[in-house]
Amino acid sequence: MVSIAELMITCMAREIADGDMVLQGLYSPMPMIACLLAKNFHAPNMVYFNTADTIDPEPDFVPFSTAGPKLEERAVAYIPLSDVFDLAQRKKIDLIFLGAAQIDRYGNTNLSVIGDYKKPKVRLPGGAATAHLCAIIPTIIWIPNHNRRVFVEKLDFITGQGYLKGGQERKIKGLDGGPKKVITNLCVLNFDEETKKMRIESIHPGVELKEVIENTGFDLIIPENLKVTKLPTERELKFIEKIDPHKVRNIEFTKR
């Protein structure tokens, strides 16, 4: 039986190409495992940066904190996060993983506030370097709880720049990168090449199209030939279990 965490991790790992320089940020348990999965399978020449300030670690198992000392084990080098941001500015980082409390049809994200900015209902952790990185680097967004509170028609605040209002606006404003995929517990989404509106790429096994539509607060582009997300292989599942014996991958699905 494949868990949704294992499926999402595998989907994220597939977005990493061999030779990519990839950044995984704070509180990113599934991207952390996805980077290690890609490195050990189809992308041995990727370069993995993390918030433990190391490059290409080889931990025996992943820690609960994505900045934990375990992520220093057998690393090839130490690098301050400020230097990683400098690499990003010089277009040397190929991919980042970022989360979102809200996301709209164009891949703009909110990690700042829910409600009015001056008197918010909820004050979120904030975007850290999200606004800077989303402007210049291709992004994979992961969302463990696909629902209408997250997938909204209009954001309460834009923390990370997606395709702004769609079309060529991002390019006109001189922004590089942009969101490549959105990976959720229900499906994988990408963006239409012309309009930049969110489009279903594949639906996870056992999920109905109706469920995706009902849990999204805006209209999605639905292709004629709807694909089913490919499951991880037995080897990939065994690696995930080995590198994550404490089930860190399930943290984001814990009910509060």
Share of the chain above pLDDT 90, in %: 95
Separation CA 175–CA 248 (nearest Å): 35
Residues 93 and 73 grouped into a single domain = yes
Convert the pLDDT of each residue in 198-232 to its tens digit.
Answer: 999 999 999 999 999 999 999 999 999 999 999 99
Separation CA 198–CA 50 (nearest Å): 28
Residues 6 and 94 grouped into a single domain = yes
**For position 242, which CATH number holds?**
3.40.1080.10
Convert the pLDDT of each residue in 81-125 to its tens digit.
Answer: 899 999 999 999 999 999 999 999 999 999 999 999 999 999 998
Average pLDDT, the chain: 95
- Total count of domains within the chain: 2
Residues 180 and 151 grouped into a single domain = yes
Separation CA 237–CA 3 (nearest Å): 10
Residues 219 and 248 grouped into a single domain = no
Closest CA to 218 of 141, 109, 105, 108: 105
Residue 249 has pLDDT above 80, yes or no: yes
Extract the runs of DSSP E, i.e. beta strands, from the chain: 21-24, 47-49, 54-55, 77-78, 95-98, 102-103, 109-110, 113-115, 120-123, 138-143, 178-184, 187-191, 198-203, 227-228
Residue 55 has pLDDT above 60, yes or no: yes
Residues 134 and 29 grouped into a single domain = no
pTM for this predicted structure: 0.96
Residue 127 has pLDDT above 90, yes or no: no
Closest CA to 182 of 226, 212, 225: 212
Containing structural domain, residue 184: 99-223
Residues 90 and 186 grouped into a single domain = no
For residues 19, 22, 28, 30, the Cα torsion angle rounded to the nearest 10 degrees is: -20
Residue 64 has pLDDT above 50, yes or no: yes
DSSP code string of 147-169: STTTB-SS-SS--B-SSTTSTTH
- Indicate the pLDDT class of residue 256, thresholds 50, 70 and 90: very low
Residues 23 and 116 grouped into a single domain = no
* Beta bridge pairs of residue 143: 184
